[in-house]
Every structure is written in C-alpha cells, then in structure tokens.
C-alpha cells in the first residue's frame, strides 16, 4: 500500500504535467488540458493522501520503516499537488462565475461580425443581460478610461497598447474607432477575445473595453484583470 500511495502521487503529478504541456503545445484543446491537469492533480493527490495516511497509521511503533518512509513521500507529493490546485483557484479571489466583462454596461462594445473574424462563426458574441448586475456588483470600480487626447490619437494609442501587451489584432475599423483582438494565456493557451471602442468624451476621449473568454463558464477574474492591465498600460 505504501508503494501504491507513492505511485499514485507520481502518476497524479505526471498527469498534471502532461495536461499542461499538451495544452501549451497545442496537442489538445486548452480546456481539455486544463481538466487533465487539474483533475489529475486534485483527484490523484487526494487518493495519494488518503492511502499515505492509512499506511502511516498502520506503521506506527517502528513497523515497516521503509514503507512508512514511502508513505510520507506520497503524502508530501499528494498534499503539494492539492495545495497547488487550491492556490491557483484562490488567485481568482471572489470572482463571479461569468466570463464576459465590459467597462460599459449600458452600451457594451460590440464585437466585429463573424464575416470579419472567422473564430466568431457559430458563437453568440452578444452581451448577456444577466451579467450586467453581476458585473456592477462585483467590479464597481471597473469603468472606462478617459483621456484628454482627441479620438483619433486615443484610438492609435489604444491599438499600440494592445500590441505592446502581445494581443493579436483580429479586426479593426478606423472609421468607427474600434478594433478586436485575441489574447492567449501563457500556460494553457486559452484564447480570449477583446474588443475596444474609442469615442468622444467632452474635449477628450473615452475608451471602453470588453473581454470575453472562449472557454468555461467562469474566468477566475481573468477578464477584469486583462481590462485593468490594458487601462494601466494605456494611461
């Protein structure tokens, strides 16, 4: 049983690495890799912890010191995997289970038509009305960016900011002062869509941003953080 506990912990760790690497290399879909990684680490880690604790209890009093040592190793690895998953989950804080955030809840920026961005085909890119009160309550300080620059200058600055952040511009309309972009996460290579709209605000400009996840029901706060990074970089 001690050997089994250690083997399970190693297998769980291997699954976590395989899921991460496969998603990062594009061998599986990002969400599939994420599930393999998290599922392997969490469930495998839990099983390793349970088995290890049983062996530790059975080997009290100096019985089978080698088995007890293996059990302690399995326990350490299992707990490490579970803590890693929990730490990653806690990074999202109290983020609500939604995946589309915008700085303008009254008139959310619209994504370009599917004819302009192939990845939009078959997807509902409209803004869910049920998200409006949730965003308003969860992100009360997430508003638009205002500048003293004229609209044309702010639009060009917004484009340059997006590119400096590594976003890939997928569509743009100079006449409407809007553009869409794609941002790919580093680890699992999730691709999220962003649209930016620049309009007049007094003698200056108002920049509204909308960030939408392609996968998952919740985003662990990633879209709001992306919007804030853009605003900070453009300010």
Q: Please write the tens of the pLDDT for every residue from 70-83.
A: 888 888 888 888 88
- Among 24-33, 34-43, 55-64, 96-105, the minimum mean pLDDT is found in 55-64
**β strands within 163-220, DSSP E:** 168-173, 178-184, 191-201, 204-213
User: Whose structure tokens read 């190693």?
Assistant: 10
CA distances (Å), 15 to each of 43, 45, 99, in order?
11, 11, 27
Beta bridge partners of 191: 184
Mark residue 35 as left, alpha or beta (left: phi above 0; alpha: psi -120 to 50; beta: remaining): alpha
Of 115, 138, 139, residue with least CA distance to 125: 115
The answer on pLDDT for 89 being more than 70 is no
The answer on pLDDT for 92 being more than 70 is no
């Amino acid at each position: 049983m001690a050997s089994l506990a250690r083997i399970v912990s190693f297998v769980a760790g291997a699954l976590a690495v395989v899921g991460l690497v496969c998603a990062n290399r594009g061998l599986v879909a990002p969400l599939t890799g994420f599930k393999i990684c998290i599922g392997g680490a969490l469930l495998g880690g839990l099983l390793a912890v349970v088995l290890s604790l049983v062996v530790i209890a059975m080997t009290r009093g100096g019985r089978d010191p080698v088995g007890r040592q293996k059990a302690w190793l399995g326990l350490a690895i299992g707990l490490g995997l579970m803590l890693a998953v929990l730490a990653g989950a806690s990074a999202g804080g109290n983020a609500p289970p939604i995946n589309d955030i915008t700085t303008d809840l009254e008139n959310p920026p619209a994504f370009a038509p599917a004819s302009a961005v192939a990845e939009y085909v078959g997807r509902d890119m409209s803004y869910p009305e049920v998200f409006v009160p949730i965003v308003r309550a969860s992100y009360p300080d997430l508003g638009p960016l205002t500048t003293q620059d004229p609209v044309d200058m702010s639009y060009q600055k917004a484009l340059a900011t997006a590119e400096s952040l590594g976003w890939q511009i997928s569509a743009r309309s100079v006449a409407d002062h809007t553009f869409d972009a794609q941002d790919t996460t580093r680890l699992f290579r999730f691709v999220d869509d962003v649209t930016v709209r620049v309009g007049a605000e007094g003698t200056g400009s108002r920049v509204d941003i909308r960030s939408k996840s392609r996968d998952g029901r919740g985003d662990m706060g990633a879209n709001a953080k992306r919007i804030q990074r853009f605003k900070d970089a453009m300010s």
